[in-house]
Amino acid sequence: MSVVTELSPVGDDVHLGELGEHAILEHILRPRYGGVRGFGDDCAVLDAEEGLLGELVATTDSCPTPLVTSLGETDPYHAGWLLATINLSDLAAAGATPLGLVVNYTLPKTTTAGEFRRLLDGVDDCAKTHGTKVVGGDLRDGPVRQLTATAIGRCVPGGRLGRAGAAAGDRLLLVGSPGYLWAYALLVEEQARLPEAIVAGIRERAFRPMAQVAAGKALAAAGLARAAMDVSDGLFPTVRTLCGANGLGARIRTDIHLDNAPAEVCAQAGLGRFELAQAWGDWTLVVAVRPEDVELARKVLTEEGVAAQEIGILAPREEGISLDDGEKTEPWNGIAQERFSPSSWHGGDLPKLITEVLGRRAS
């Protein structure tokens, strides 16, 4: 397999699987669309000019096979909830208020009416929870289920967030509570045991993740966020992308806080908290704020009922991306769920997935 570097050209005969998502973006999409306003951000900008009501933004994403299917869950409700969450999370990273979802369902002819209704219930309930609704879509038959949605939102005037805009010295905040999805996976694999009521709470958070729409809107309205991105593929690719968009490096702390329940799962499974926190699936945000704004940003988020913690600092580019455990700093080449690569998510065997996503098998 050939290796494509930042400077090497990409010929027409190179397979996308030889590139990976990051190289596809840089070598194929950026030369073609790099001049489009908002290119590379979580949401596209629809307005030609920003009006008095702010900018319109849109995002579109397909829903992969949810991890919950590997955890024994067959109810289509959770795929519907995840489809909405994936798209609303991109609006959160733009600081946008959701205006509506347009959904597209390709379903096998063997899908029952009851299964379809449960899928719709999941989408509708998630949309309602975030103050929006389905406003249109398309339905067709096909050999396999394919779920796609487009979310449209509006940003406050001058308040649209993107991946660029940060500077060296800015602090990185992790917005939301990480660790619940893979904590439940470890519980299913019996690598930890907790009282039934606590397990039920972890399961609820894992199966119905919340996009941080309220948090993104609040930070944008207060002018506190300099750059933002949702954690859809893991913490490392999120930090790497933010650094690339701003021409910076970063130092990330490994002492990330977890809520008590997932922290106890870590302890029993023999994992460090960082190993769980760096995984994907909880739909958190990483936000860059000025050092003097950290406490105010956390206060604003607390008022929204959203947890936030400082996880690192943006540094000059030449410093690269590193991990700081309080005693030493070393380069970070973390785990990325990158499309068109061996780590691209397609579901699979749960024990193997735990090894791949968490970095090593829990003992």
Binding residues for substrate: 332
Binding-site residue ranges for ATP: 137-138, 163, 232
Q: CB burial class (10 A; 0-12, 13-18, 19+) of residue 252?
A: buried
Binding-site residue ranges: 42, 59-61, 90, 137-138, 163, 230, 232-233, 332
DSSP at 51: B
What are the start-end ranges of the E strands in the chain?
Answer: 44-45, 56-63, 97-107, 134-141, 146-154, 171-175, 227-230, 248-253, 285-289, 308-316, 321-324, 329-331
Measure the CA–CA gap between 232 and 280, rounded to whole angstroms: 6
DSSP at 292: G
Measure the CA–CA gap between 289 and 222, rounded to whole angstroms: 12
Measure the CA–CA gap between 213 and 128, rounded to whole angstroms: 12
Which residues have CB under 8 Å from 275's CB, separation 6+? 266, 358, 359, 360
Measure the CA–CA gap between 220 and 18, rounded to whole angstroms: 38
Binding-site residue ranges for Mg(2+): 42, 59-61, 90, 138, 230, 233
Question: Which token pair is 282?
Answer: 């909880």
Residue 233 one-letter amino acid: D
Residues 20, 22, 27, 31, Cα dihedral to 10°: 140
DSSP at 54: B
